[in-house]
Amino acid sequence: MLENTQISILGCGWLGFPLAKHFIAEKSTVKGSTTSADKVADLKNAGIQPYVFTLGANNNADVYRNFVAESDVLIINFPPKRVEHIETLYPAQIQEIASHIRFRQKVIFISSTSVYQNTNDWVTEDLVNQPEKASGKAILAAENILREKLQNRLTILRFAGLFGYDRAPGRFLANKKELSSANAPINMIHQDDCIRLISAVIRKNVWGEIINGCADVHPIRKRFYILAAKKLGLQPPEFKEETTVSFKKISNLKSKMLLQSTYKYPNPLVFVL
């Protein structure tokens, strides 16, 4: 049950804000953080207790403590910034908030399938991670910091590419040229399914786990993004002709079995056809 649960959401943006409203509808008490004072009114109007801070910006130790204090669950939900020193900055930000997590508090870390390398096959949570990009390396380092500190009080949700509502996939690659991986299967998950999985972790008390979140169907990259752009009336992307392809297909089987959950949007193609 989520009723009377106290939840702190670090990062009330595209996913965190509707997630917070979902929990409030379930009679939970929610604290939400933002880096912008302009968003405070929106958070208050939604019934969210607002906290404004930027990790690493200055000495906000008291703010961090108050944000985390008395919460049953902390949801860490902010991606690493695309900066040159991402591999050191992001883990340091996670360490900063982790130092204020109290004994017995549970944590959900919103991670990414970018921690997985391309295998040209299905990828499960058991794969030994060898991230290929700096962002993936930064996220994996953050995961390891939290796993060492929290152990069985932590569940990591590794989400595939996020889409839904105002994040229309047709805008991602529109008008781009000479794109690679035309025939690679893609991995995506709708905002609503992210919220369903996060909620299920808490309702079913599933801790100490790493769980992938990804739609059932993996459309081919070229077809999907051309259709997506056309549906919005945008110039479709153009892809290079390639004889080889490098990819990974994210398995969601564990999420279905462990959380006893189905996906509201199992096929991303329905949004572009």
Average pLDDT of the residues in 151-174: 95
Convert the pLDDT of each residue in 220-247 to its tens digit.
999 999 999 999 999 999 999 888 999 9
How wide is the angle at C-alpha 54 spanned by C-alphas 50 and 59, nearest 5°? Answer: 105
| Residue corresponding to tokens 């152990």 | 151
Mapped onto helix, strand or coil, the DSSP state of residue 142 is helix
Q: Is residue 135's pLDDT more than 80?
A: yes
Q: Domains of the chain (ranges plus CATH)?
A: 79-165+190-215+248-265 (3.40.50.720)
Average pLDDT of the residues in 168-185: 94
Q: What percent of the chain has pLDDT over 70?
A: 99
Convert the pLDDT of each residue in 62-93 to its tens digit.
888 899 999 999 999 999 988 888 999 999 99
- Structure tokens of 79? 């991606």
Q: Is residue 6's pLDDT more than 80?
A: yes
Average pLDDT of the residues in 213-217: 98
pTM exceeds 0.75 = yes
Mapped onto helix, strand or coil, the DSSP state of residue 38 is helix
Task: Please enumerate in sequence order all residues whose Cβ is within 8 A of that of 196, keeping only pairs 6 or more positions apart, or say none.
Answer: 261, 263, 264
The pLDDT score that the predictor gives to residue 261 is 87
- Among 82, 77, 70, 87, which residue's Cα sits nearest to residue 7? 70
Confidence band for 109, pLDDT divided at 50, 70 and 90? very high
By CB neighbour count within 10 A (0-12 exposed, 13-18 middle, 19+ buried), where does 259 fall?
buried
The pLDDT score that the predictor gives to residue 157 is 98
Distances 224 to 144, 164, 236 between C-alpha atoms, Å: 34, 15, 10
The pLDDT score that the predictor gives to residue 49 is 97
Q: Is residue 165's pLDDT more than 80?
A: yes
Confidence band for 1, pLDDT divided at 50, 70 and 90? low
| Residue corresponding to tokens 């999985």 | 197
